[in-house]
Amino acid sequence: MLVDARNVLRSRWPNVPEQELVERARSWAARHGHELVLVFDGTAPGGAVGATELDERTTLVGSGAESADDWLIAHAADYPEAWLVTSDRALRRAAGATAERIVGGGSFLQLLDD
């Protein structure tokens, strides 16, 4: 599962705090058997730039100088049949070709509540 994290954070008001998204997404992914890659523009929570493996199924990515969208476009093919989570239509077109499923940010937050 590839997640455009800041897009998801902003999909509900009030915005979801970064660490809350990370923990809720990790818990949901573990319950449902998904690998999870949360991609943040700039730095990921904790100040990480680049990929940081949190556990066997969760990776945080801080995109650094590159945008999260550009990172997702460049790496989507590395995760064939993963879900792509974003409400960004341009990103869906550019990175969604190999996605098993495309989920909007608000819909993803609802899934996390299940």
**With helix as H, strand as E and coil as C, how does 23-74 read?**
HHHHHHHHHHCCCEEEEECECECCCECEEEECCCCEEEEECECCCHHHHHHH
**pLDDT for res 70:** 97
> What pTM value is reported for the model?
0.95
Beta bridge partners of 61: 39, 51
What is the tens place of the pLDDT at every residue in 82-108? Answer: 999 999 999 999 999 989 999 999 999
Residue 20: domain span = 2-113
Counting the structural domains of the chain, the total is 1
pLDDT beneath 50: ranges in the chain: none
